[in-house]
Amino acid sequence: MKYYNLKDNTEQVSFSQAVKQGLGRNQGLFFPEHIPAFDNVEELLELGLVERSVEVLAPFVEGDLTKEELLQVIDSAFNFPAKVNSVTENVASLELYHGPTLAFKDFGARFMAQCLSRFTDGEKITILTATSGDTGAAVAHAFHGLDNIEVVILYPKGKISLLQEKMFTTLGGNIRTIAIEGSFDDCQALVKQSFDDKELAKAIGLNSANSINISRLLAQICYYFEALAQLKAQQNDKKVVLSVPSGNFGNLTAAMLAKALGLPIERFVAATNANDTVPRYLQTGEWAPNDTVATISNAMDVSNPNNWPRIEFMLQEGIIDKSSLTSKMIDEEQTQAAVIALNNLGYLSEPHGGVAYKAMVNELSEDEVGLFLGTAHPAKFKEVVESILGCPLALPKELADCASEQILSIDMAPDFAELRKFLLA
């Protein structure tokens, strides 16, 4: 399959090239030339996660990976579960934090790493990515120790939880980390400037593992199929309302692609924190990002989401009906109240899950089941969750193992010239 640049349709590339290149000309995002419609979704839902994912993704990688190669990639990448956990009769959580770094981004990062390692042909590649929390750990662990791949991760200094930071800043080796004295949007801007510098990009073999990379989005499609398979197995025939805690909007993009493939998702709720560019845009029609605000759901502290052009394209082209998308901003007080409410129901969540739960729980019809995403293990936000609930949280082994490790990051101003010098050194 070919992928074309949404900003320049004359630029069309293969899947492997889209994975290696990351961004197209003029910072354009790649999008598949067509979206196959599966007429056997019910049969697909009867399969296991790995076997089903091969069938779902095969059309997207045709010409670059055989089905046997794709099976090897997926079998290596998805070696942990996605779990649907019932909260009430009409509300469930899709838990995506059972991978090695306890966050949903393990799915996309590991799939991308497995693909990229097959596409490099021995050439050196530098992965440059920005993180607002969980991407850093997922990318670092997925690429750690891979030959000919260097990883540089930018993150906003002091604006992610200490345990999130420890998970990707303590590895060393081919993983280098930079604490930027600014916001996540400053980090993203530096990544974009780096890609615009063609001399730099060529010199270091630049690539990005952010959710702008099409391979990560394709991987995320698979866990929505898994979620509906589990709901069906639980004899739940209600219409599915999907509530997605949204920062960079990659998760929602993947969910919409899943629906376009034929997955029966009734509607979407894009749940944001105070960084509410999208809810305001859908209400007023004006795209007006404000300065990024720091919140307790820090992985969603994004004012100018990179993946929105893909969603905008799907809405404009009628691939997804505009009426199926609503968006809601949940403030800090509501977020904390949601975490408490979930805990009172016997379900331990964290701020991002709380935002998604709160955005949809009071708007469900009797014939609907609300599925909100649990994007990270509550212990990754130990201090915040303990403060909200007033009780201690035990650390899972993955966090306990890195808690005492030394942070290896360097500090840097949000200055492209300084970053460029670092990357070329």
Give percent of the chain with pLDDT exceeding 70.
100
Q: State mean pLDDT over 324-342.
A: 98
Q: CB count, 10 Å around CB of 400?
A: 12
Q: What torsion do the CA atoms of 117, 137, 207, 289 make, to the nearest 10 degrees?
A: 150
- 360: its two tokens: 């949809």
Over the stretch 25-70, which tens digit does the pLDDT of each residue have? Answer: 888 999 999 999 999 999 999 999 999 999 999 999 999 999 999 9
Task: Identify whether the C-beta of residue 129 lies closer than 8 Å to the C-beta of residue 195.
Answer: no
pTM: 0.91
Residue-level pLDDT at 408? 96
Is the pLDDT assigned to residue 236 strictly greater than 80?
A: no
Where does the pLDDT of residue 210 fall: very low under 50, low under 70, confident under 90, or very high at 90 and above? confident
Where does the pLDDT of residue 194 fall: very low under 50, low under 70, confident under 90, or very high at 90 and above? very high
Over the stretch 64-108, which tens digit does the pLDDT of each residue have? Answer: 999 999 999 999 999 999 999 999 999 999 999 999 999 999 999
Is the pLDDT assigned to residue 391 strictly greater than 80?
A: yes
Reported as half-sphere exposure (CB side, CA atoms, 13 A), residue 168 has a value of 35
Residue-level pLDDT at 132? 78
With helix as H, strand as E and coil as C, how does the chain read?
CEEEECCEEEEEEEHHHHHHHCCCHHHCCEEECCCCCCCCHHHHCCCCHHHHHHHHHHHHHCCCCCHHHHHHHHHHHCCCCCEEEEEECCEEEEECCCCCCCECHHHHHHHHHHHHHHHCCCCCEEEEEECCCHHHHHHHHHHCCCCCEEEEEEEECCCCCHHHHHHHHCCCCCEEEEEECCCHHHHHHHHHHHHHCHHHHHHHCEECCCCCCHHHHHHHHHHHHHHHHHHHHCCCCCEEEEEEECCCCHHHHHHHHHHHCCCCEEEEEEEECCCCHHHHHHHHCCCCCCCCCCCCCHHHCCCCCCCHHHHHHHHHCCCCCHHHEEEEECCHHHHHHHHHHHHHCCCCCCHHHHHHHHHHHCCCCCCEEEEEEECECHHHHHHHHHHHHCCCCCCCHHHHHHHCCCCCCEEECCCHHHHHHHHHC
Where does the pLDDT of residue 340 fall: very low under 50, low under 70, confident under 90, or very high at 90 and above? very high
Over the stretch 123-160, which tens digit does the pLDDT of each residue have? Answer: 889 999 998 777 889 999 999 998 889 999 999 999 98
Residue 120 carries which side chain, given as an amino acid letter?
A: T
Residue-level pLDDT at 165? 93
Task: Identify whether the C-beta of residue 175 lies closer than 8 Å to the C-beta of residue 199.
Answer: no
Task: Identify whether the C-beta of residue 196 lies closer than 8 Å to the C-beta of residue 27.
Answer: yes
- 181: its two tokens: 């004295």
Q: Write the CA distances from 211 to 45, 50, 131, 215, 307, integer angstroms.
A: 26, 21, 10, 8, 7
Task: Identify whether the C-beta of residue 3 lies closer than 8 Å to the C-beta of residue 32.
Answer: yes
Residue-level pLDDT at 21? 84
Where does the pLDDT of residue 209 fall: very low under 50, low under 70, confident under 90, or very high at 90 and above? confident
Q: CB count, 10 Å around CB of 237?
A: 9
Tell which wins on pLDDT, 235 or 177.
Answer: 177
